[in-house]
Amino acid sequence: MPILLRNLNETLLYNIEEIDIDEYWNTEDFPALKMHSIHAYPAKFPAFIATKAIKFAKMQGVPITCVSDIFCGCGTVALEAKINNINFWGCDINPVATLIAKVKSETFNTSILKDYYETIIREYGNLSVSSTQYNEANERLIYWFDDLHYLDLYKLLTVIKKIPNKKYKQAFECIFSSILKPTSRWLTKSIKPQIDPNKVPADVITSFKNQFSKFVKSIEEWNGKSKADIKVEEINFLKKRNPPTVSLIITSPPYVTSYEYADLHQLSSLWLGYTDNYQSLRKGTIGSIHNSEDYYFEIMDLNTVGRNIVQQMREKQIPNSKIKSVARYYIDMQKTTSKCYTMIEDGGMAFFIVGDTEYKGVKIENSRHLAESLLVNGFNEVSISKRKISNKLLTPYRDEIGRFTTNKNERKVYHEEFIIIGKKIKK
């Protein structure tokens, strides 16, 4: 059974370990559409959670006119909103994420797509580039790609960039982005950037053809018509002025002490020209340790749970840089829940999918901190349910100093996550 909280004192009393797995959030009624898998993306939650959240809210009497995802990532909620014929507004700070989200939730004419595809293949075959182009490439791309694969990718992207229609050009940029790791030296399915010295990179044009075929099939799979208005913006939610009024928020915040999304998306960011230095995309990202070197905070800026965790980290003599990153994450999440409250209509709900982490023996209780933040910022009721993690690209083990490991004899973390629901009762 989920835990139901109505006051701040209760957030300090409940025991997360005693929450049972809620099968409602643990099982899908229908397989996810192929469109959800057109591009690999780390730590995305299953698509069925979005639809079940919509269904749950309706059962609770929420009149749903618009759904929002304030950390929209690759657009899971956006696509599910479209399928359910509900308007959507979402944002993400990462340009690779918003590209994928826009493409996944867009409507395409397959005949037009195929015409552009034939043009791309023809022009690619006729295009010649000098081998010196590789020597002039971004040094980070030289690190990841050999000269032959780089030059083939350069030719392919040059042709794609000529597409005059913006949404179709974005579709092919998304397809291009999805083949970068297979055609590089990147260690397959790695949760951190590292070279595989034994890898034979996939052929560029073969990968592109296969991925295009999958993209067309994903479009053809779902023939339903939707009049939903889907909008995705590239912006930090906390810097968004006057966000739209919505009846439902479904989102999954980044994990503090976890990996760097900017690092994982560096190939796409560099190739697509979003930046010349992928590390610059770490700036402003909630949960990034690289966003907090010069950060100053007062302990009283944190809520009760946040203060307790920071104090435990200080007692363990954890480096100040890590303490700052955790404190900043918590303060940003407190601001986030406050902003969510103001944009939700009376009678609306906010669903947060979040997991707890651990660092050098200190439990980083993101769930408990978030529950308290929701109550402090005006939500009348907060319920917490638990589900198992089964398909995230994230190893669930940590070694004795808190680093990721695949050793099953080490501590298991990240094997479950929480559905935290804040309800804004009508006045």
DSSP letter string over 42-68? Answer: TTPPPHHHHHHHHHHHHHTT---SEEE
Residues 261 and 314 both lie in one domain = yes
DSSP letter string over 392-426? Answer: -SS--EE-TTS-EE--TTSEE-SSEEEEEEEE---
pTM over 0.75: yes
Residues 279 and 346 both lie in one domain = yes
Distance CA 174, CA 66 (A): 26
Residue 386: CATH number of its domain: 3.40.50.150
Residues 248 and 367 both lie in one domain = yes
Residues 377 and 269 both lie in one domain = yes
Residues 91 and 172 both lie in one domain = no
Contact in structure between 218 and 38 (CB atoms under 8 Å): yes
Distance CA 232, CA 101 (A): 7
Q: Are strands 66-69 and 87-92 parallel, antiparallel or unpaired?
A: parallel
Distance CA 164, CA 9 (A): 58
**Consecutive sets of 10 residues in the chain, 427 residues long: mean pLDDT of each?**
75 74 91 95 91 96 96 97 97 96 96 98 96 94 97 98 98 98 92 91 98 97 88 96 97 76 89 85 65 79 95 94 90 96 97 91 92 94 89 50 51 76 86
Size of the chain in residues = 427
Residues 270 and 368 both lie in one domain = yes
Q: What pLDDT shows up at residue 262?
A: 76
Domain boundary among 221, 241, 267: 221
Handedness of CA 268, 271, 274, 278 (dihedral sign): positive
Q: What pLDDT shows up at residue 300?
A: 95
Q: What pLDDT shows up at residue 413?
A: 55
Distance CA 368, CA 374 (A): 10
Q: In what order do the strands lie in the sheet with 416-423?
A: 3-5, 381-388, 416-423, 344-354, 246-251, 66-69, 87-92, 230-234
Residues 129 and 61 both lie in one domain = no
Q: Return the DSSP state at 237.
A: G
* Crossing angle for the helix pair 47-59 and 76-83, to the nearest 10 degrees: 50
Domain boundary among 221, 241, 268: 221
Q: What pLDDT shows up at residue 278?
A: 73
C-beta neighbour count of 58 within 10 angstroms: 13
Residues 236 and 264 both lie in one domain = yes
Contact in structure between 250 and 50 (CB atoms under 8 Å): yes
Q: Which domain holds residue 270?
A: 3-103+230-423
Distance CA 294, CA 63 (A): 44
The number of domains in the chain is: 2
Q: What pLDDT shows up at residue 296?
A: 81
Residues 270 and 350 both lie in one domain = yes
The Cα angle at residue 262 between residues 299 and 210, in degrees rounded to 5: 150
Residues 238 and 353 both lie in one domain = yes
DSSP letter string over 127-170? Answer: ----THHHHTS-HHHHHH--HHHHHHHHHHHHHHTT--SHHHHH
Distance CA 321, CA 279 (A): 17
Domain boundary among 221, 243, 273: 221
Residues 297 and 376 both lie in one domain = yes
CA-based end-to-end distance of the chain: 28
Residues 82 and 132 both lie in one domain = no
Residues 6 or more apart whose CB falls under 8 angstroms from that of 415 comprise 388, 389, 396
